[in-house]
């Protein structure tokens, strides 16, 4: 029983910290002090350490020698890598979804897309909610590809992609964010894999634009 409770606390701490990092509440490069965090959350340092170890495997935190834990900091090389991974995975997933998605999958994608557009119209300044809706839609497209291997690979970088997506939504007019996915969703639902792949790639913020955002944040 004690082991189950301990695991539950670790999972709760992991989820709490994951949310803070992905949402941007904990800044990139921010130092994490185990003792301070344990005191604030009223948890043991070992529980916090286990949570941080889990997040390190997800690529959200890193342990620096003599410096301790800190939130990851996405530099230009990281953005280049994540951009190219996202282009490769999401364009291929969209093509596969156009071929494999069931009628129910297509209905679900349409519903998610409609909710996303409504969110952007009603709350165009809610960066976190819009980033979450964006990621959720793309993840459902990956699921609609019917490839367990694709889902697994996407899942391995999912949390870093969420941080990446939050960055792509900075300093932009988000009122049209949902509508920008219309052509991709239409291509998937009409069963056109080539068009779906092209539209998925076109939907991703260009790397050069991401670099400009990164430099603005640094200044």
pLDDT value, residue 168 = 66
When pLDDT is cut at 50, 70 and 90, the band that residue 216 belongs to is low
CA distance 93 to 193: 9
pTM of the model: 0.79
Indicate whether 3 pLDDT > 70. no
**In the predicted model, what is the mean pLDDT of residues 181-195?**
98
Q: Output b/e per residue, 12-36; b: 16+ Cβ within 10 A.
A: ebbeebbeebbbbebebeeebebee
Indicate whether 217 pLDDT > 60. no
Percent of the chain whose predicted confidence (pLDDT) is above 90: 58
Give the tokens for residue 88.
Answer: 């490769």
pLDDT value, residue 4 = 41
pLDDT value, residue 56 = 92
pLDDT value, residue 170 = 64
CA distance 183 to 196: 8
């Amino acid at each position: 029983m004690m082991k189950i409770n301990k695991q539950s606390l670790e999972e709760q701490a992991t989820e709490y910290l994951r949310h803070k990092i992905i949402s941007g509440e904990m800044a990139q490069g921010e130092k994490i002090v185990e003792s301070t965090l344990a005191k604030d959350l009223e948890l043991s340092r070992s529980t916090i350490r286990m949570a941080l170890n889990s997040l390190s495997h997800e690529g959200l935190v890193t342990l620096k020698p003599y410096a301790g834990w800190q939130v990851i900091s996405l530099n230009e090389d990281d953005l280049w890598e994540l951009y190219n991974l996202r282009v490769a995975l999401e364009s291929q997933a969209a093509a596969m979804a156009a071929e494999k998605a069931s009628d129910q999958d297509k209905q679900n994608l349409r519903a998610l897309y409609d909710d996303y557009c409504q969110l952007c119209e009603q709350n165009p300044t809610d960066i976190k909610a819009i980033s979450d809706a964006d990621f959720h839609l793309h993840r459902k497209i990956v699921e609609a590809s019917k490839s367990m291997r694709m889902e697994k690979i996407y899942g391995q970088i999912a949390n870093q992609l969420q941080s990446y997506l939050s960055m792509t939504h900075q300093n932009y007019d988000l009122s049209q964010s949902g509508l920008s996915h219309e052509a991709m969703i239409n291509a998937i639902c009409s069963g056109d894999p080539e068009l779906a792949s092209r539209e998925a790639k076109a939907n991703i913020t260009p790397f050069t634009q991401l670099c400009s955002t990164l430099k603005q944040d640094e200044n």
